[in-house]
């Protein structure tokens, strides 16, 4: 049985008529750059997320870059980012000749570890970029508290997490000063090419980003600021507007698929429960936690279960379904030979990347990230995946574990 890591075709086919119409409408108008679809998408994203301002941009990377430019990050400034993320999170900092400073990550969520954050703050620190990795919120209360204490700006990298709610029901990307999202085709809300959006509740920053998106130009050919070409295409906006109303149901399907994986892994005797962080004879596969209760979460302290059950918050939307196994590389080869798509996110944390050698990081400061880069494996999780396919993936992993 062939199981691709991601197959975008069934999703397209399920909404083909609407997509084709929307695309044709843009073609008929011959209006390709920005325009009414971009403006409407921005409004609809604001409504969906509950934020004041959204500015459609050319990619998730440009969203992060624009955010840093809008808060005037200067050469020599320090911006704190988790060492375990997609490259863009740190790359944009270095591109502005500012210094990315890395923290280790939490062993359960693999998101920026607030306990490590405060240690990394210096007089030069200007901002923090927490990442909601794989579709699960970072611990925003602690991060916001620390940011406030040190007067730092928080830019959320929600590229993998559009539609994720933090524990009080706020959507990620609306908690910090600026939220950044990507519409890369493999994200939960994916366009037909590159795209992204920045979100904010700060009108001044929102307006600044709107102007900087088009070379800081306002009015035409008069430049108040130095921006760039960070525009979103009309075609992308038209496609994304068709997809946005389906986003929650697709994310729910991903969550169902994750629950199915857990069921089969538990039945196969490879795992006891989700969210374990240590291997033993009964937990050869470590599974992601679907609802993560933060240590300082009031409802988990008071044991208010009903609240958690009735309105699950902090829920994972699985842009990637990441398991952790000890012999990751041989399992990867084994699964690929069986035509099961899987991949490694991310094999090399930032502090080990050649381009960041000049930062002279101490490898021993990042044990959790180092470990995750060595044992994490992404399995297929896309919404249209069938139970039979999930069963086949788990059976194959079981076969590997037994023969091992």
Nearest approach, Cβ of residue 157 and ligand PLP (Å) = 5
Q: Residues 114-153 vs ligand PLP: string with x where CB under 6 A? A: -----------------x----------------------
Nearer to ligand PLP, 228 or 312 (CB): 228
157 forms part of the interface with ligand PLP (CB under 6 A): yes
159 forms part of the interface with ligand PLP (CB under 6 A): yes
- Choose which of 102, 184, 321, 346 interacts with ligand PLP (CB under 6 A): 184
Crossing angle of the two packed helices 16-29 and 234-243, in degrees rounded to 10: 150
Distance CA 209, CA 248 (A): 27
Q: Measured in whole angstroms, how far is the alpha carbon of residue 31 from the centre of its chain?
A: 31
- Choose which of 114, 196, 349, 380 interacts with ligand PLP (CB under 6 A): 196
Distance CA 208, CA 228 (A): 12
38 forms part of the interface with ligand PLP (CB under 6 A): no
Span interacting with ligand PLP, options 57-65, 96-104, 276-284, 301-309, rule CB under 6 A: 57-65
Span interacting with ligand PLP, options 28-36, 42-50, 58-66, 284-292, rule CB under 6 A: 58-66
Span interacting with ligand PLP, options 46-54, 139-147, 157-165, 267-275, rule CB under 6 A: 157-165
Q: How many Cα neighbours within 13 Å face the side chain of 352? A: 17
Span interacting with ligand PLP, options 53-61, 139-147, 285-293, 294-302, rule CB under 6 A: 53-61
Nearer to ligand PLP, 184 or 321 (CB): 184
- Choose which of 182, 188, 251, 373 interacts with ligand PLP (CB under 6 A): 182
Report CA-CA distances (Å) from 79 to 75, 140, 226, 313, 376: 11, 17, 21, 29, 26
Span interacting with ligand PLP, options 7-15, 83-91, 116-124, 164-172, rule CB under 6 A: 83-91
Distance CA 188, CA 166 (A): 17
Question: With contact defined as beta carbons under 8 Å apart, do 128 and 79 qualify?
Answer: yes
274 forms part of the interface with ligand PLP (CB under 6 A): no
Nearer to ligand PLP, 132 or 284 (CB): 132
Distance CA 292, CA 141 (A): 14
Give the binding-site size for ligand PLP (rule: CB under 6 A).
15
61 forms part of the interface with ligand PLP (CB under 6 A): yes
Q: Report CA torsion sign: 300, 303, 309, 310.
A: negative
329 torsion bin: left (phi>0), alpha (psi -120 to 50), beta (else) = alpha
Nearest approach, Cβ of residue 269 and ligand PLP (Å) = 33
Encode 241-268: b = buried (16+ Cβ within 10 Å), e = exposed: bbbbebbeebbebbbebbebbbebbbeb
Distance CA 43, CA 51 (A): 10
Question: With contact defined as beta carbons under 8 Å apart, do 210 and 46 qualify?
Answer: no
Question: Measuring CA to CA, which residue among 313, 331, 330 is closest to residue 379?
Answer: 331
Enumerate binding residues for ligand PLP (CB under 6 A): 59-61, 85-86, 88-89, 131, 157, 159-160, 182, 184, 194, 196
């Amino acid at each position: 049985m062939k199981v691709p890591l991601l197959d975008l075709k069934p999703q397209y086919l399920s909404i083909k008529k609407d997509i084709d119409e929307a695309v044709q409408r843009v073609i008929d108008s011959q209006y390709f750059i920005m325009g009414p679809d971009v403006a409407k998408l921005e409004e609809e994203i604001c409504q969906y997320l509950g934020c004041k301002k959204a500015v459609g941009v050319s990619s998730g990377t440009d969203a992060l870059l624009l955010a840093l430019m809008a808060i005037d990050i200067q050469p020599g400034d320090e911006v704190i980012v988790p060492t375990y993320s997609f490259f863009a999170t740190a790359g944009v900092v270095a591109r502005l000749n500012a210094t990315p400073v890395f923290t280790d990550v939490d062993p359960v969520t693999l998101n920026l570890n607030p306990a490590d954050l405060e240690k990394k703050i210096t007089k030069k620190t200007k901002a923090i970029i927490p990442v909601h990795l794989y579709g699960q919120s970072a611990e925003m209360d602690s991060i916001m508290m620390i940011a406030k204490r040190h007067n730092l700006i928080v830019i959320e990298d929600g590229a993998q997490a559009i539609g994720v709610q933090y524990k009080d029901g706020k959507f990620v990307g609306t908690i910090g000063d600026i939220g950044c999202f990507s519409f890369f085709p493999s994200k939960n809300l994916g366009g037909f090419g590159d795209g992204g959006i920045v979100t904010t509740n700060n009108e001044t920053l929102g307006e600044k980003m709107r102007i900087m998106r088009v070379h800081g130009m306002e009015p035409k050919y008069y430049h108040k600021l130095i921006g760039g070409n960070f525009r979103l295409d009309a075609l992308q906006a038209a496609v994304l507007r068709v997809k946005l109303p389906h986003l929650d149901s697709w994310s729910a399907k991903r969550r169902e698929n994750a629950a199915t994986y857990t069921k089969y892994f538990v039945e196969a005797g490879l795992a006891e429960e989700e969210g374990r962080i240590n291997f033993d004879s009964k937990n050869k596969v470590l599974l992601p936690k679907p609802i993560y209760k933060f240590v300082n979460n009031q409802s988990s302290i008071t044991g208010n279960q009903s609240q958690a059950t009735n309105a699950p918050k902090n829920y994972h939307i699985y842009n990637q379904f990441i398991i952790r196994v000890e012999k990751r590389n041989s399992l990867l080869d084994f699964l690929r030979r069986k035509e099961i798509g899987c991949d490694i996110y991310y094999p090399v944390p930032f502090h080990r990347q050649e381009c960041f050698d000049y930062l002279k990081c101490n490898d021993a400061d990042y044990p959790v990230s180092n470990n995750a880069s060595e044992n994490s494996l992404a399995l297929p999780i896309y919404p249209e995946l069938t139970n039979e396919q999930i069963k086949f993936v788990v059976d194959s992993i079981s076969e590997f574990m037994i023969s091992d």
